[in-house]
């Protein structure tokens, strides 16, 4: 279609680059708990939420042993806030009781990362991914035959 209306008034208007807080940059540049978990003790559960349309696609892996989260890793496609929040959530959950996967409220990370209000939806996706891990654990717990234990 050679003739059309502009999709919006400013064809190539762009805002100034977002300036990120140090807490975000530190975790974006060297995120703790990034990547898949290697082999180890306990049972592995995974959860994923979001998508490109949500501005974040986040997946967590948690290894549960003795009722505790002995290892947790994340993978995130998203803005630097999303990467930093995923990393910080993993930091907070490492070593916690497994119930924390279902109870952790990522919104408490917002002030620590100086998260702009319009980015809070990213935290809800992180919450969904962690809840998905919790449900996976719960399902495994209720169906012991389906639980696969990985080698230490």
Partner 1 sequence: MNPQIYMDFAASTPVDPAVADAMRAALQGPVGAANPAATHWAGEAAAGAVDAARRQVAALVGASPAEIIWTSGATESDNLAVTGAARFRRQLGRHIVTTLIEHPAVLESCRALEAEGFELTYIAPDGAGIVDVDVVAKALRKDTILVSISHVNNELGVVQPIAEIGRLCRDHNTLLHVDAAQSVGRLPVDVRSQRIDLLSLSAHKMYGPKGIGALFLDRDRCRRVQPLFFGGGQERGLRPGTLPTHQIAGFGVAADLAAARMQDDVARITALREQLEAGLLAVSDVRLNGHIEQRACHIVNVSVAGVEGESLRCGLRQVALSSGSACAAESGEPSSVLRTLGRPDYLAQASLRFSLGRTSTAEEVEATIHAFRTTVTRLRELAPA
| Assigned token pair, 144 | 């012991």
Kindly state the smallest distance separating residue 114's Cβ from partner 1, in Å: 13
Check binding of 111 to partner 1 (CB under 8 A).
Answer: no
- Give CA–CA dist 86/132, Å, rounded: 15
Window 61 to 100, contacts with partner 1 (CB under 8 A): 75-80, 82-83
Contact 90, 72 (CB under 8 A): yes
SS3 62: strand
For residue 25, the tally of other CB atoms under 10 A from its CB is: 13
Check binding of 148 to partner 1 (CB under 8 A).
Answer: no
Kindly state the smallest distance separating residue 144's Cβ from partner 1, in Å: 28
Check binding of 11 to partner 1 (CB under 8 A).
Answer: yes
Check binding of 21 to partner 1 (CB under 8 A).
Answer: no
Check binding of 59 to partner 1 (CB under 8 A).
Answer: yes
Q: How far is CA 134 from each of CA 47, 60, 101, 115, rounded to the nearest angstrom?
A: 8, 11, 5, 25
User: Which residues make up the interface to partner 1 (CB under 8 A)?
Assistant: 1-15, 17-18, 20, 25, 28, 31, 34-35, 48, 52, 55, 57-59, 75-80, 82-83, 116, 118-119
């Amino acid at each position: 279609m050679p003739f059309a209306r502009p999709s919006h008034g400013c064809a190539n208007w762009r805002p100034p680059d977002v300036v990120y807080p140090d807490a975000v940059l530190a975790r974006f540049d060297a995120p703790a708990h990034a990547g898949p978990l290697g082999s180890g003790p306990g049972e592995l559960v995974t959860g994923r939420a979001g998508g490109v349309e949500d501005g974040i696609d986040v997946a967590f892996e948690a290894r549960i042993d003795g009722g505790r989260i002995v290892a947790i890793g994340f993978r995130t496609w998203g803005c630097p806030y999303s990467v930093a929040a995923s990393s910080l959530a993993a930091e907070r959950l490492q070593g916690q009781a497994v119930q924390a996967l279902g109870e952790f409220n990522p919104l408490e990370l917002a002030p620590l990362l100086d998260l702009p209000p319009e980015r809070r939806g990213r935290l809800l996706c992180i919450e969904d991914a962690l809840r998905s891990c919790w449900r996976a654990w719960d399902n495994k717990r209720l169906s012991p035959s389906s639980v696969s234990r990985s080698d230490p």
